[in-house]
Amino acid sequence: MTPDQFLHILCYLHFTDNDKVDKKDNHYDRLWKVREIFYILSVAYSKFYSPSEHMVIDEVIVLFKGKVAFKQYIPKKHKRFRIKIYKLCDTYGYT
Q: How far apart are CA 31 and CA 36, in angstroms?
A: 9
Burial 4-30 (b: 16+ CB within 10 A, else e): eeeeeeeeeeeeeeeeeeeeeeeeeee
Query: Between these two residues, 11 and 66, which has the higher pLDDT value?
Result: 11
* Digit-coded pLDDT (tens) for 51-60: 888 899 988 8
Number of domains, the chain:
2
* Digit-coded pLDDT (tens) for 70-95: 788 878 877 777 888 899 888 887 78
- Say if residue 57 is in the same domain as residue 33: no
Q: Is the separation of the CB atoms in 57 and 87 below 8 Å?
A: yes
- Say if residue 1 is in the same domain as residue 45: yes
- Computed over every residue of the chain, the mean pLDDT equals 82
- Say if residue 41 is in the same domain as residue 59: no
- Say if residue 42 is in the same domain as residue 68: no
DSSP code at position 18: G
Q: What is the pTM of this model?
A: 0.51
- Say if residue 57 is in the same domain as residue 88: yes
Residue 81 domain boundaries: 51-95
